[in-house]
Amino acid sequence: MPDLPDPSDTSPDRATLDVRNREDEVDRLRSTLEEVLVRHGYSSASVFAVRLAMEEAVSNAFRHGHAQCPEDPIHVEFVVDSSRVTVSVEDRGRGFDPGAVPDPTHDENLDKPSGRGLLLIRAYMSDMRFNDRGNRVEMEYRRPGRG
């Protein structure tokens, strides 16, 4: 199905959520984002891409950022309009250096069970950047064909 704009709704949708590492809260985040993407006419491939990237960022935030504070919520913001989606995920951890993460596609790393989240975010999103501290990732998805 092609990416077609919904002419009845071109205004951006915004959400700011504090999410704890609980299945129901993360499910609510997933469904909220998915509903907004569908409302703006994004294709199933686009929804799959944005959802996967958000999933990986949230998982990294809880697993690494909040290893010492598992009860604390992470902070998620997203803005969706007819041409782009931005999602940011911030944790309360010390941050990390994304450049220090080994390439999981190298032969010697293929059978390692972790370290693929950033690769998938880079592959599915148009842009990804971290703040200096490394505890906040901002991802942008540009709708195909919209430059």
Identify whether the C-beta of residue 57 lies closer than 8 Å to the C-beta of residue 87: yes
105: left (phi over 0), alpha (psi -120 to 50) or beta: alpha
Number of residues that bind other proteins (CB under 8 A): 26
Compare residues 13 and 55 and give the one whose CB is closer to other proteins. 55
Which helix (H) or strand (E) segment is 124 a member of? Answer: helix 117-124
Nearby residues of 86 by Cβ (< 8 Å), 6 or more positions away: 78, 79, 138, 139, 140, 141
Among 1, 111, 132, 145, binds other proteins (CB under 8 A): 111
Among positions 45-64, residues that touch other proteins (CB under 8 A) are: 45, 48, 51-52, 55-56, 59, 62-63
Among positions 65-104, residues that touch other proteins (CB under 8 A) are: 104
Stretch that binds other proteins, among 42-50, 85-93, 125-133, 136-144 (CB under 8 A): 42-50
Compare residues 36 and 61 and give the one whose CB is closer to other proteins. 61
**φ, ψ at 140 (rounded to 5°):** -130, 135
CB of 127 to other proteins, least distance (A): 17
Which helix (H) or strand (E) segment is 53 a member of? Answer: helix 44-60
Q: Which residues bind other proteins (CB under 8 A)?
A: 21, 23, 26, 30, 44-45, 48, 51-52, 55-56, 59, 62-63, 104-105, 110-114, 116-117, 119-120, 123
